[in-house]
């Protein structure tokens, strides 16, 4: 008797009709975003940029490039631009100075200005490479703790999918405190 009623119920049941102008999207989970980003990185590094770009079409994502103090090495510049081009991401270069504090002496302000100038010169090289490949590029200078600076950038710019650095100390510090994948380049000399 129960099966008979259940069968009758299933015969009368149909999927609800959805008007064409209504788009239904399923909420994505953080794990799915992470898996998609890692899959795109894998395709990009394997030399199949078309697949990586298809995976990343939804919204302009960014790669954060963390230099060594006020400079960016040739290896990190080359790797970041190639990866951003293959993935279709933008680049944000971050230079973090170690002088912090609200009350700086005139000499402290001079040191900050000097650091800012040197960092902008170093980032200009990365910016030129990014412009040659039509990659959106931004350079930011922060002072203080590296991990706090990265957290601030992550909040300001959104959609930062990964961090690239060639400093082993920064890689260890960031890996412990951030929920964004951190790639550390090992430079062979």
* Structure tokens, 117: 């100038």
pLDDT at 93: 92
Nearest to 96 by CA among 62, 146, 138: 146
- Mean pLDDT by groups of 10 residues along the chain of 189 residues: 72 59 50 76 78 62 83 87 88 83 74 88 91 90 84 82 75 58 63
- Beta-bridged to residue 94, according to DSSP, are 66, 140
pLDDT at 124: 92
Contact 139, 93 (CB under 8 A): yes
CATH of domain 60-184: 3.40.50.620
3-state per-residue secondary structure call for the chain: CHHHHHHHHHHHCCCCCCCCCCCCCCCCCHHHHHHHHHHHHHHHHCCCHHHHHHHCCCCCCEEEEECECCECCHHHHHHHHHHHHHHCCEEEEEEEECCCCCCCCHHHHHHHHHHHHHHHHHHHHHHHHHHHCCCCEEEEEEECCHHHHHHHHHHHHCCEEEEEECCHHHHHHHHHHCCCCEEECCCCC
Domain ranges of the chain: 60-184
Contact 121, 166 (CB under 8 A): no
pLDDT at 42: 82
pLDDT at 108: 78
pLDDT at 7: 75
102-122 as b/e: b if 16+ CB within 10 A: eeeeeeeeebbeebeebbeeb
């Amino acid at each position: 008797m129960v099966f008979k009623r259940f069968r009758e119920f299933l015969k009368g049941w149909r999927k609800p009709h959805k008007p064409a102008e209504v788009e239904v999207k399923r909420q994505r989970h953080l794990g799915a975003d992470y898996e998609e980003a890692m899959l795109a990185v894998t395709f990009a590094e394997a030399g199949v940029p078309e697949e990586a770009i298809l995976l990343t079409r939804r919204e302009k994502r960014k790669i954060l490039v963390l230099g060594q103090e006020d400079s960016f090495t040739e290896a990190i510049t080359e790797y970041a631009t190639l990866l951003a081009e293959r993935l279709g991401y933008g680049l944000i270069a971050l230079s973090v100075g170690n002088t912090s504090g609200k009350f700086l002496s005139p000499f402290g302000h001079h040191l900050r200005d000097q650091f800012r100038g040197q960092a902008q010169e170093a980032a200009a090289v990365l910016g030129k490479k990014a412009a040659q490949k039509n990659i959106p590029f931004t350079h930011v200078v922060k002072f203080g703790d590296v991990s706090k600076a990265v957290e601030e950038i992550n909040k300001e710019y959104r959609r930062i999918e990964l961090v690239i650095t060639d400093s082993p100390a920064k890689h260890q510090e960031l890996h412990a405190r951030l929920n964004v994948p951190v790639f550390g380049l090992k430079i062979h000399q």
